[in-house]
Amino acid sequence: MNRLVILSLLLTRVALAGNLDQYNVVWDAPSADARGSMPIGNGDIGLNVWVEPSGDLVFFIGKTDAWDENMRLLKLGRIRVKFTPVLTVTNGFRQELKLRDGVIEIQNQQASISVWVDANHPVVHVDAKSLTGQPLEAHAAFEVWRKQKRSLGVPASGGGGEYFATGYTSVPAVSYPDTVLPATAQRIGWYHRNVDSPWLTSLKLQRNEAIAQTEQDPILHRTMGAILRGENLVPVSDTELKTAKPAREVSLSIHVLTQITDTPEQWRAALDNQAAAIEKTLSAQRRREHSQWWNEFWNRSWIFVDGSRSLALPVNAGPWRVGVASDGGSRFGGTITGPRVIERALSAAEIAQLAGPQPSTETKLGEEPLTTGCTVAAWIKPVAGEAGRILDKCTAGKPDGLTFDAYPGLSLRWIVGNDTMIHPNCLKPGEWQHVAATADAGTGVRRI
């Protein structure tokens, strides 16, 4: 292979890798709860990350080997980080999953926060930096919900989450509480330890109990948990850290370990030793090695699938209908007022202005050709289990037009020719809501 061909291949590789950034996931608003979380992980530790409207950064921690005494794969716990100044979500808020570097970056005009799970070590990092020069304060706490021993009940025939624990016996499965570690000057933490195991019961059920003579019980005394620590972070209680003094940069490390040990103290010592060994390498170097791992991962190979960015809006000669399909079916069960059709794709700000402070009674449907784009909007008050048309310009049963409806049940559906998108479970019965959908013929982007 001559040098020209090698150079051509290298340039192609760089170009292909460069396409990756356009697939980053970007949010411009906070999330109400975990259903709006963004995932990130290293193949062993996984996070569900979101920022609440209050400005709190929240995430669940999961681990692939965190099996409890009932063979359920647990979330280890939930972390909540509060910043002062508050991470306001109305002033340039942006949350981005950066695929190339394996990091979630959250920022507004005051601060930037990076959340990443080290690709080479079992540790989660939260790094915050002031963008204004104003020092930051932070409070980081873990939240556990397994606080007491409780029965999970006896499963019905057919099995369920407690099948392995009971083997279809009358003995109920039991969930045991987590243990919060006493805080030290260096860390806070917690763990869950399996004091019981369904392993032998399961083997007997399958008539394989001879295995127990040569193999170790993989569930009994399995201990899983984490510790939180960081420079300039001191304990407020057994479950919360805070910055010792305001600083322009704040870094929190969450070290995670699952291990079968004879005693809880052995697990705790192993985790402390693991954390100390990891932190012998400077955080900046570990961040570089983390980014390098992800860059090498993405540079192994690619399959990028791109379609045309343009969108041909379907032409349908029928009129716009409000609350009903062309065949008279799919009638909207609630109330619709102020329906609008506009011959271009409005921005979110324009739609908010269009909505106004209260339900409008003005109807503007128009029959101009939809060439550059389309926005459909209305105030609606759906009934429970709503499943009906809001605005429709389509032959019932055919993909030859546009349909904006409530379907399935209290979801919004936007059909543009052969393309369908659904915003699930977003409607509230008996309440006025302003809803809209757009299609941009130039960019191909459709939104609800």
380, exposed or middle or buried, with CB in 10 Å at 0-12, 13-18, 19+? Answer: buried
Q: Does residue 27 fall inside a structural domain?
A: yes
Average pLDDT for 255-271: 97
In the prediction, which pLDDT does 90 show? 67
Residue corresponding to tokens 């394996």: 102
Closest CA to 20 of 123, 98, 111, 117: 98
Tokens (6 digits) for 239: 């479950």
106, exposed or middle or buried, with CB in 10 Å at 0-12, 13-18, 19+? Answer: buried
Q: Does residue 138 fall inside a structural domain?
A: yes
pLDDT over 50 at 209, yes or no:
yes
In the prediction, which pLDDT does 353 show? 87
If asked whether residues 250 and 116 sit together in one domain, one would say yes
For 264-306, give the DSSP string: HHHHHHHHHHHHHHHTTS-HHHHHHHHHHHHHHHHTS------
Q: Does residue 3 fall inside a structural domain?
A: no
pLDDT over 50 at 161, yes or no:
no
Through-space distance between the first and last CA atoms of the chain, rounded to whole angstroms: 51
**Which residue among 239, 266, 298 closes a domain?**
298
Q: Does residue 364 fall inside a structural domain?
A: yes
pLDDT over 50 at 156, yes or no:
no
Q: Does residue 13 fall inside a structural domain?
A: no
Greater pLDDT, 375 or 360: 375
| Among 77-91, 130-144, 159-173, the least confident range | 159-173
Q: What backbone phi and psi angles, to 5 degrees, belong to 293?
A: -60, -45
pLDDT over 50 at 186, yes or no:
yes
In the prediction, which pLDDT does 308 show? 58
If asked whether residues 276 and 353 sit together in one domain, one would say no
pLDDT over 80 at 4, yes or no:
no
In the prediction, which pLDDT does 164 show? 45
If asked whether residues 33 and 119 sit together in one domain, one would say yes
Q: Can you give the residue range of the structural domain that contains 411? A: 321-447
29, exposed or middle or buried, with CB in 10 Å at 0-12, 13-18, 19+? Answer: middle
For residue 85, say if its preceding peptide bond is cis, omega within 30 degrees of 0. Answer: yes
If asked whether residues 331 and 294 sit together in one domain, one would say no
If asked whether residues 293 and 325 sit together in one domain, one would say no
If asked whether residues 339 and 237 sit together in one domain, one would say no
Average pLDDT for 297-314: 76
In the prediction, which pLDDT does 241 show? 97
Q: Where are the beta strands (DSSP E) in 182-286?
A: 188-193, 222-229, 233-237, 240-243, 249-260
Q: Does residue 350 fall inside a structural domain?
A: yes
Tokens (6 digits) for 264: 């809880």
If asked whether residues 185 and 284 sit together in one domain, one would say yes
If asked whether residues 97 and 60 sit together in one domain, one would say yes
Confidence of residue 430 (pLDDT cuts 50, 70, 90): very high
Confidence of residue 8 (pLDDT cuts 50, 70, 90): very low
If asked whether residues 259 and 334 sit together in one domain, one would say no
Q: What backbone phi and psi angles, to 5 degrees, belong to 36?
A: -110, 35
Q: What is the CA radius of gyration of the chain?
A: 27
If asked whether residues 161 and 220 sit together in one domain, one would say yes
What sign for the dihedral angle of Cα 86, 91, 95, 96?
negative
Region label for 167, one of left (φ > 0), alpha (ψ between -120 and 50) or beta (otherwise):
left
If asked whether residues 341 and 264 sit together in one domain, one would say no
In the prediction, which pLDDT does 309 show? 62
Average pLDDT for 2-23: 50
| Among 141-155, 222-236, 264-278, 333-347, the least confident range | 141-155
Confidence of residue 422 (pLDDT cuts 50, 70, 90): confident
Tokens (6 digits) for 210: 């001879």
Counted domains in the chain: 2
| Among 29-33, 223-227, 390-394, the least confident range | 29-33
| Among 32-46, 354-368, 412-426, the least confident range | 354-368
In the prediction, which pLDDT does 73 show? 95
Average pLDDT for 364-368: 79
Q: Across-strand partners of 18?
A: none
In the prediction, which pLDDT does 300 show? 84
In the prediction, which pLDDT does 13 show? 44
Share of the chain above pLDDT 90, in %: 61
If asked whether residues 172 and 203 sit together in one domain, one would say yes
Q: Does residue 367 fall inside a structural domain?
A: yes
Average pLDDT for 242-250: 96
Single-letter code of the amino acid located at 384:
A
CATH number at residue 101: 2.70.98.50
Confidence of residue 171 (pLDDT cuts 50, 70, 90): low
pLDDT over 60 at 14, yes or no:
no
Tell me the C-alpha distance between 383 and 404, whole Å: 17
**Hey, is 152 helix, strand or coil?**
strand
Q: Does residue 98 fall inside a structural domain?
A: yes
